[in-house]
Amino acid sequence: MEKQELEKQVRERAQKWLNPAFDKETREQVQHLLDKDVTELIESFYRDLEFGTGGLRGIMGVGTNRMNIYTVGIATQGLCNYLRKQFAHLPEIRAAIAFDSRNNSMKFADITSKVFSANGIRVYLFDSLRPTPELSFAIRTYKCHCGVVITASHNPKEYNGYKVYWEDGGQIVPPHDKNIINEVQSIKDISEVKFNGDSNLIRVIGSQTDEIYINTLSTLSLSPEIIKKHKNIAIVYTPIHGTGVELVPKTLHKFGFNNIISIPEQDVIDGNFPTVVSPNPEESAALKLALEKADEIDADIVMATDPDADRVGIGVKDNNGNFILLNGNQAASILIYYLLRKWKENGKLKGKEYIVKTIVTTDLLADIAKKFNVESFEVLTGFKYIAEKIRELEGVKTFIGGGEESYGYLCGDFVRDKDAVISCAMFAEITAWAKDQGKSVYQILMEIYQEFGLYKEHLVSLTLKGKDGVEQIAQMMKDYRANPPKSIDGSRVKTVHDYQKQETTDTATRKISSINQPKSDVLQFIAEDGTKVSVRPSGTEPKIKFYFGVKGELKSGSELENQLKELDAKIARIVEELGIKK
């Protein structure tokens, strides 16, 4: 589309936001864009903020392509329309709402509760910020039919989001996701949104729910006697200005840990995240203050949760006493190894247990499960698919734990989303368990590598913002589908998985078999030497992600550095070979 034509269409869309249905402040901001800032006007109005398969996520501001009370209202009205059709046979429909520490999160939660209640839906609204996993727990506790949490997870401060959950406590999956999207898209005018809430249908919940949640999580402890012996291990924890600030320490205390050291400046609830560039526990910079404190006091473990406390970053001491950060695959491997080993030692393995991982998470998890004769399932990227598997097998098999490489883990099935609250408690427990053996968590990881092989994963994430970025990402996926690599670092590509087409191709025989997974814009290339490369656009950010998985041997800890260098060099060659420019 020519820029002139695009600008004309955008101006027509923006003019509709000048009518009295929109508040005075919004109208003034839109008028400013019309008069003074064409570039921002186009970015704000060139499309509707997409209600994707999980909900909304975007930059806050005025316009159809921004997070604001109107786009949130439209999303909620569409959700209400679907709920009223789906549960028309019930005398009452119930929804739970939570929100995090981001700017405007409380406002968006309030609007959501008003639209729900205006549509005759009973609402359970948290009285203040709460972790996303507690929203999942609340849905199940109060027998709700859906839930919404206002959060943009670990995105930068200018973002916010709106995640939708179904009655099982998991994020929405097919067919509900597409059906809700259709309902949202069918709303053509803001006048269709019912904003005048019914306070009689809104119940505020808080500390009582917290208590039930924490007590339930505490039943998952596998080593209570060991915790008693090592209750004073030094745990440095930071919520990075987010929702973990109260519940993570309370849960650690409930498990029996007494020595929890906070980072006072990061305990401050602030949606501007003033002490970090990005509140992302995947990035070492976000843990800088916690690591400095850990060095100062010679802590045993460092833990940092993202703003909605569904993901956690872990720091442990290496053999030289220096703190290093575990990546998501390493942490998931340690967690699953501990869970399975303790379940076996405690006589809890009966032959019907299982774990779940995503297709881009290390295959080490599956290898560990195999050793313990525990079934391992693989699902699409996104914790909602782990929740879907739990629901599918409910009453048939027992879920032990699951994880994904992006720092999200779950133990037990009380919650149906990644849960940094129980993850923090379990990693503290693992630290005590290792210490009881005279070992560190790092040494446990080295033992895992020596037994199962040295797995090395790497993620390259390219950010391509705006309209042009969306188009570039789509073109890259199109090109990889049309011309998949024939070899990776000298090893022939033997298998291509195309989850969009739901097809697996054997490159030698050209035989095509079907993939029994929902459609997803993901490509995977697997070489004869076991190297795996996965490519997918992010569903929540303007990014395209490349996941690399390679494997070597580790006969002793002293070989680690050299072996990692070899694997890193291999990954670097693959990145260059595929023409990925960071």
Give the pLDDT of residue 582.
65
Could you tell me which CATH class the domain 213-452 is placed in? alpha beta
List the beta strands (DSSP E) in 287-417. 301-305, 312-317, 323-326, 353-358, 375-379, 398-404, 408-411
- Give every residue of the chain whose pLDDT is below 70, as ranges: 1, 540, 582
d(CA 149, CA 108): 10
Helix, coil or strand: residue 548: strand
CA angle, residues 306, 310, 313, in degrees to nearest 5 = 50
Q: Which two tokens stand for residue 420?
A: 């940094």
47-205 against 213-452: fold identical: yes
- Please tell me the distance from the alpha carbon of residue 577 to that of residue 143, in angstroms, as a whole number: 52
Over residues 540-566, the pLDDT tens digits come to: 678 899 999 999 988 887 888 899 999
Rounded Cα distance, 567 and 90, in Å? 57
- The per-residue pLDDT for range 248-266, each reduced to its tens digit, is 999 999 999 999 999 999 9
| CATH number for domain 47-205, candidates 1.10.10.10, 3.10.450.350, 3.40.120.10, 3.30.470.30 | 3.40.120.10
User: Exactly one of 113, 136, 153, 520 is catalytic; which is it?
Assistant: 153
Phi, psi of 351 (to 5 degrees): 105, 0
24-36 helix and 38-45 helix, angle to the nearest 10 degrees: 130
33, two tokens: 């864009």
For residues 535 and 533, give the distance between their C-alpha atoms in angstroms, rounded to a whole number. 7
Segment 16-37, tens digit of pLDDT: 999 999 999 999 999 999 999 9
Q: Can you read off the two tokens belonging to residue 44?
A: 């704000």
Q: Let me know: does 471 contact 564? Beta carbons within 8 Å.
A: no
pLDDT for residue 540: 65
**Tens-digit pLDDT profile for residues 449-472:** 999 999 999 999 998 887 788 888
Query: How many C-beta neighbours within 10 Å does residue 467 have?
Result: 14
Task: Report pLDDT for 3.
Answer: 78
Q: What is the pLDDT of residue 1?
A: 52
pLDDT for residue 15: 96
Amino acid at 462: L
- Structure tokens of 129? 């910020």
DSSP H stretches of helix in 46-104? 69-86
558 noted as active-site residue: no
Contact 491, 525 (CB under 8 A): no
Query: Tokens standing for 371?
Result: 């050793």
Per residue in 55-90, pLDDT (tens digit) is: 999 999 999 999 999 999 999 999 999 999 999 999
Residues 6 or more apart from 493 whose CB is under 8 A from it?
A: 484, 485, 486, 487, 507, 525, 526, 527
| Domain-wise residue ranges, the chain | 47-205, 213-452, 454-577
Between CA 237 and CA 247 the distance in angstroms is: 12
Owner of token pair 């002293």: 558
Q: What amino acid is encoded at 226 in this protein?
A: I
The answer to whether residues 51 and 75 touch, using CB atoms and an 8 Å cutoff, is yes
Strand order across the beta sheet in which 122-126 lies: 55-59, 159-166, 146-150, 94-99, 122-126, 202-205
- The contacts of residue 358 (CB under 8 Å, 6+ apart) are 378, 379, 380, 381, 382, 383, 385, 386, 404, 405
What is d(CA 115, CA 84) in angstroms, rounded to the nearest whole number? 13
Options 3.30.40, 3.30.310, 1.20.120, 3.30.70; CATH for 454-577 is 3.30.310
- Asked whether the beta carbons of 525 and 546 are under 8 A apart, the reply is no
* CA distances in angstroms from 306 to 101, 168, 169, 273, 317, listed in the order given: 10, 24, 20, 11, 22
